[in-house]
Amino acid sequence: MSDTATNAPVLAADGTPLKRSLSRALRVQKMRALALIAPLLIFVLISFILPIGDMLFRSVENQIVENTLPYTVDELAKWDGASDDLPPEPVFRDMYFDLFLAAEMKRHTRLGSRLNYESSGMSSLFRQAGRKLDDPGDDAQAALEEVDPIWGERETYYQLFNAADGAAVDDALLAAQEKRIRSLADEKPVGEMNFAPSAEVSGLLPLAARVYTSFAVITGLVENKVVAKTKPMESLYLALLQDVTRPDFKADLAAYNGPHKEALTALANAPLLAPNYTEIFTDVDKEWANVETWRIIQTHSGPYTSGYFLNAIDMQKTPEGAAVQPENKRVLIQLFIRTIIMSLTIMGACILLGYPIAWLLSNLPMRTANLLMMLVLLPFWTSLLVRTSAWKVMLQQNGVVNDVLVWIGLVADNDRLVLINNQIGTITAMTHILLPFMILPMYSVMQTINPSYLRAAKSLGATNWTAFWRVYFPQSIPGIGAGSILVFILSIGYYITPEIVGGTKGVFISNRIAYHISSSLNWGLAAALGTILLVVVLALYWCYDKIVGIDNVKLG
Amino acid sequence: MAESHSRDAFVEFERVQKSYDGETLVVKDLNLSVPKGEFLTMLGPSGSGKTTCLMMLAGFETATHGDIRLGGTSINNIPPHKRGIGMVFQNYALFPHMTIAENLAFPLEVRKIGKDEREKKVKRALDMVEMGKFGGRRPAQLSGGQQQRVALARALVFEPELVLMDEPLGALDKQLREKMQFEITHLAHQLGITTVYVTHDQTEALTMSDRVAVFDDGRIQQIAAPDILYEQPENSFVAQFIGENNTLQGVVKEIKADNLALVELDDGELIDCKPVNVSKVGERTQVSIRPERVEFDKKRLQPGAHTLKAEVLEFVYMGDIFRTRLRVAGNDDFIVKTRNAPDQRRLQPGEQLEIGWLPQDCRALDA
């Protein structure tokens, strides 16, 4: 009987379950608490979480290849990258038109830089191609004009491709090209272009209609010029040449009733040759005839890539899957390990140096302790840069430390110690800089340890050392834990001090990240490195929680 | 001389002085000897030097001058961990990172006692304070009273001959405190250990101790058994500090042969007293009478005894007793306590009456 009574939910006076009644009563309090933290929450969300999320997203984002070379990527997907044959002609054809448009929008260099991360030389290959793709177009134009001078006039093309009043418009083509240009343009295209591709022509001349439509979008919406009065881009001539030489052109032309039918008929009957795109590219640079070039483009054509992460752990993405980088390029894992080991060393040095100081501070009378505390906090009042630079003065070969060592005869004058631009420099300077972060939590924890514990231990028969080790030290562990986490996490992401005193051997992974952010502009790799660093820190934090327990951390 | 002095003394303070700053003495010329098995309480207001004495005995403070002996040997230069004195601290000082059993095993471990015997002793000590079931818990999971018992068990587990307690019951509520007072004395006498107990609570001192040493101003004012301390205080400080006390100021008029003195109070009335530390006629004195020894029934007084006029100011019903505040010889705070007996009169405020007392209950002390 009593069992059933205890199992039934407890009811409030009005009969509602007590839990619901309680949560309703506390709701106003919760809302008020939420309102109080809301400003900070919003600030953190906007200024911290979102940028970090965006940065992390960059570590897998790879839309530039697909956006810049949409048709090539489609066509290249059909090619077996593992084979030793070059991709078929359609790939080269689409590459020509994609790259031409990219060059027109000045995006081909960006794509080159992106692919250059995977294989050096790609950047110059793309830049060069962007410059030289005009020439085949000029040749094509000359060939067309030879058949009929009308092909030299801009209005001809406008009349040919623009849908006359009442004629059917190829909406799909227009929308596709607008979308494509939008993704390539830096600014949002606006304005009126006064052009719509005729559906009939785009059936007859698919490639040329596509090229002209994209040209019209660029001219009208991006550059804000009159489409009809602007000279089309050179690739249009090549595209027209391509279309009129296709096998079914004559048959399709018979059914055609649009403008310039005679001129087109003249082209159909002229002895024109379809362009050879493979040759065009090979003429630009023979690297285009290298299967490897195409493999790289194919491997990195997806909108999302694991490539940056693989690079971050000294591997690379290949058509056959992930592979280890060549030995001379493997630096990052070593740098990660070095960063962790040096951070642990700095943490250990901080514990060893900080513990006695914190102990002294917590056992001195208040007045003296406060004075000493000022000295501990003094470094905080000095600029980080100044402190680090001071260590540069102290540690260099003609610096204060070496001078003193030479003066007291420990070191020969011609054999001065190398204390800077290596790991010793970084560890020394960072231990000094991070020491207060270790002392403060230790001190605040030690202050709460009642001296009567030590007295009790001694009265129970423990020697000074036993009393310290068995009674005092275990109680001070939360302070050591808090300080260690603080120092370790601060040091693993430290940048400025290793940069100044670390030379080449004493730098951290964060210096590498900074290099990729500001110098090599490989933001994807920087983001991947940052993500790995974040994961490593979280993993170590998790380990700490499992081993020591995070509730064992006290900041006071 | 010293030999005979310390023959039955277990703990001994000889001319001990202590100064922290080199300018003032916290403990002034302390002489004290505690025989084996005695429960001695050091009682006094805060700052009277009682805790300092305890700390010197435990070894956490060094005596500036003098000798402290334990079992006949000087312990001035013996570090605390070698003195073998059990100690119970004010805040219990149970190690928070150890379980109760580990706390109790600690003194045995540092004495290198084997595991089996250790466990046996820990269990026995815990059972002794009725905490046998709590060995696996942490101190924070226990109530104040339970922590107190554990602290006591820890101080006793290594079987010391001397146990020091520094206001161990200060943090407990009244009922628990009274229960623990009884338990501690019971345990101490049962085990036959010598106990030095420090408190500022006079009830605690009176109920627990064999002897009480009343400290003030760095000196022992009186050291005696509780009943003597209460009934025969040797000076006005002890009279004031122990129990409730009525005082009247006056001048010694005459010292009679049969240990009686005639005192003229400041308002001119004469009373009979027992002279305690007054010796000359004309000396100022503070007369002390316990509230329960005041009589207002003339039939119970000796014939010819001096009486004083009094006016009732306040009557408080306290259950077992009545507490009446009177104005006597210009003193508005003269308290009379009477037993709540069937024939006892309840005085009304405003009532005029005459009060008196037996001369031996009225002690003429230093002014």
pLDDT band at B6 (very low <50, low <70, confident <90, very high): very low
- How many other β-carbons are positioned within 10 Å of the β-carbon of residue A459? 28
- The pLDDT tens digits for A430-463 are 999 999 999 999 999 999 898 899 999 999 999 9
- The pLDDT tens digits for B296-345 are 777 777 776 778 889 999 999 998 999 999 998 888 889 999 888 888 88
Mean pLDDT score, B148-166: 92
Non-local CB neighbours of A322 within 8 Å, separated by 6+ positions: A306, A310, A315, A316
pLDDT at B165: 94
Kindly compute the dihedral angle of the four CA atoms of residues A281, A283, A287, A288, in this order, to the nearest 10 degrees: 10
Kindly determine whether residue B110 and residue A450, on different chains, have CB atoms separated by under 8 Å. Answer: no
Kindly compute the dihedral angle of the four CA atoms of residues B275, B277, B279, B280, in this order, to the nearest 10 degrees: -100
Tokens representing B134?
């709590």
Kindly determine whether residue A462 and residue B106, on different chains, have CB atoms separated by under 8 Å. Answer: yes
pLDDT at A17: 83
Distance, CA of B252 to CA of B265 (rounded, Å): 9
Sole residue written with tokens 């102290």: A394
Q: Coil, strand, or helix at residue B42? A: strand
Kindly determine whether residue B89 and residue A462, on different chains, have CB atoms separated by under 8 Å. Answer: no
pLDDT at B297: 77
**Higher pLDDT, residue B306 or B43:** B43
Which H or E run contains A360? helix A332-363
Mean pLDDT of chain B: 88
pLDDT at A200: 86
The Cα of B44 is separated from the nearest Cα of chain A by a number of Å equal to 22
pLDDT at B151: 93
pLDDT at A347: 96
- The pLDDT tens digits for B72-121 are 899 999 999 999 999 999 888 999 999 999 999 999 999 999 999 999 99
Longest dimension (CA), chain B: 77
Domains and CATH numbers, chain A: 2-58 (no CATH), 68-132+277-324 (no CATH), 155-269 (no CATH), 332-552 (1.10.3720.10)
The Cα of B107 is separated from the nearest Cα of chain A by a number of Å equal to 5
Distance, CA of B66 to CA of B71 (rounded, Å): 16
Contact yes or no for B84/B160 (Cβ under 8 A): yes
List the B331-339 sheet strands across, edge first.
B331-339, B321-328, B308-317, B352-355
- Proportion of chain B above pLDDT 70, given as a percent: 98
Q: Coil, strand, or helix at residue B50? A: helix
pLDDT at B1: 31
List the B9-18 sheet strands across, edge first.
B27-35, B9-18, B65-70, B73-74
Q: Coil, strand, or helix at residue A242? A: helix
**By C-alpha distance, which of A538, A529, A505 is closest to A424?**
A505
Say which amino acid occupies A92.
F
User: What pTM, to 2 d.p., does this model score?
Assistant: 0.77
pLDDT at B12: 92
Could you give phi then psi for residue B352, rounded to 5 degrees?
-100, 140
Sign of torsion over alpha carbons A482, A484, A490, A492: negative
In chain B, which among 330-359 make CB contacts under 8 A with chain A?
none
* Cα–Cα distances in angstroms (integers) from residue A186 to residues A182, A183, A259, A482, in the given order: 8, 8, 35, 47
Q: Could you say which residues of chain A have pLDDT below 50?
A: 1-5
A459 interfacial to chain B (CB closer than 8 Å)? yes
Chain-centre distance of CA B86, in angstroms? 20
pLDDT at A4: 47
**By C-alpha distance, which of B116, B360, B114 is closest to B261?**
B360
B90 interfacial to chain A (CB closer than 8 Å)? yes
Nearest by CB: A460 against B96, B97, B106: B106
**The CATH number of the domain covering residues in B244-366:** 2.40.50.140
Q: 3-class secondary structure for A448-504?
A: CCCHHHHHHHHHCCCCHHHHHHHHHHHHHHHHHHHHHHHHHHHHHCCCHHHHHHCCC
Q: Where are the domains of chain B?
A: 2-236, 244-366
Q: Would you list the DSSP string of B141-197?
A: GS-HHHHHHHHHHHHHTT--SEEEEESTTTTS-HHHHHHHHHHHHHHHHHHT-EEEE
Nearest by CB: B85 against A450, A459, A471: A459
A475 interfacial to chain B (CB closer than 8 Å)? yes
Kindly compute the dihedral angle of the four CA atoms of residues A295, A298, A303, A308, in this order, to the nearest 10 degrees: 0
DSSP β-ladder status, B321-328 and B308-317 = antiparallel
Tokens representing B210?
């064999």
A462 vs B contacts (CB less than 8 Å): 81, 106-107, 110
Domain B2-236: CATH superfamily is P-loop containing nucleotide triphosphate hydrolases (3.40.50.300)
Contact yes or no for A328/A316 (Cβ under 8 A): no
